[in-house]
Structure 1
């Protein structure tokens, strides 16, 4: 057994000596070569440029959306103003006083005793012919400004300075 161990030891030591001989004979570089810097700089520059262009496009898109929003808000305000104007015109057209005046211009007469029909077709009241003598008078409501809103005229006299002070 000792001879097998000695053979194994001799073999391992000869492998170690061969490796040591090979290691002594190889040339070891004094410094490791650096990777080239140009590709890295190009990559970083491209990423930075793409980021700046992306931010510029994003900012432009936001500004365009802001202009669109302002335009739509302006159109909505104009539409709301138009709707309010139309409602006021409709209220003026529905005014009972105005309707009565227009009816009188057409020759219609308001009866002094009106007659009504119920939902089931019954007549409530006594139907009589309306004549211009029996008609109610229609007078439009005068448009007056309340006293609080009337402008008060105040005259101030300033003496003319004729002397050449």
Structure 2
């Protein structure tokens, strides 16, 4: 029973026509829009913005406090550095060999010019120790240099003229007594 395709198509036609009629009865209904409540959304956004602003303020405040603490610590470090340098300078003055020698001389200490040495391995004493005397002391302060004769002026001598007024002479001959008074 083989039927031709045309026969099969005719037998189906009434069903397609019925389906088309049924489809014609169906219509598209617009969706019903449900309005979401805006109040919770607005409240959520407002709270997020408010939290962000408060967070930024707190962060800024903590940064400012940290900056103040840093400045205070830097000032303290600078003060301590200056104090350390001052103490080091004072220590250098106290360790100065010239000062130590002067203090030793003030206490009556004098250097020994004939020391004796002890050899540790054999226990022998090398050299002959002699006591030091104050005559053996060192000259700690250098002697003042001698001035050349050119720099030593003649002593000032008062001469009395026949008029009875004293006059000063001496030193540089071209110099007046008023010039000497200013010096």
The answer, yes or no, to whether TM exceeds 0.5 is yes
Q: Does 1:110 align with 2:111?
A: yes
1:15 maps to 2:13:
no
Answer with 71-80 or 131-140: which moved more. Answer: 131-140
Unpaired stretches in structure 2, ≥5 consecutive residues: 143-183
- Cα separation, 2, equivalents of 1:125 and 1:90: 36
Figure out how many residues of one structure are paired with residues of the other and give that number: 136
Structure 1 residues 17 and 53 mapped into 2: Cα distance closer, same or farther (>3 Å)?
same
* Aligned 8 A contact 2:116 2:129 in 1: no
Give me the TM-score of the superposition, normalised by structure 2. Answer: 0.59
Structure 1: segments with no counterpart, 5+ residues: 141-165
1:3 matched to which residue of 2? 7
Once residues 127 and 3 of structure 1 are traced to their aligned partners in structure 2, the CA distance between those partners, rounded to angstroms, is: 151
Question: What is the alpha-carbon distance in structure 2 between the residues aligned to residue 116 and residue 64 of structure 1?
Answer: 68
Q: In the alignment, which residue of structure 1 is the partner of 2:81?
A: 80
Q: Displacement of 1:6 after TM fit?
A: 2.7
> Relative to 1, partners in 2 of residues 1:17 and 1:39: Cα closer, same or farther, differing over 3 Å?
farther
Q: Which whole-Å CA distance do the structure 2 matches of 1:45 and 1:34 have between them?
A: 20
Larger Rg: 2
Q: Out of 131, 134, 150, which is 2:133 matched to?
A: 131
Moved more, 36-45 or 7-16: 7-16
Structure 1 equivalent of residue 168 of structure 2: none
Rounded to whole Å, the distance in 1 between the matches of 2:55 and 2:116 is 76
Larger RCO of the pair (alpha carbons < 8 Å, separation 6+): 1
Task: Give the match for residue 150 of structure 1.
Answer: none
DSSP 3-state at the match of 1:130: coil
Aligned CA RMSD, in angstroms, stands at 3.3
Cα distance, 1:114 vs structure 2: 7.0
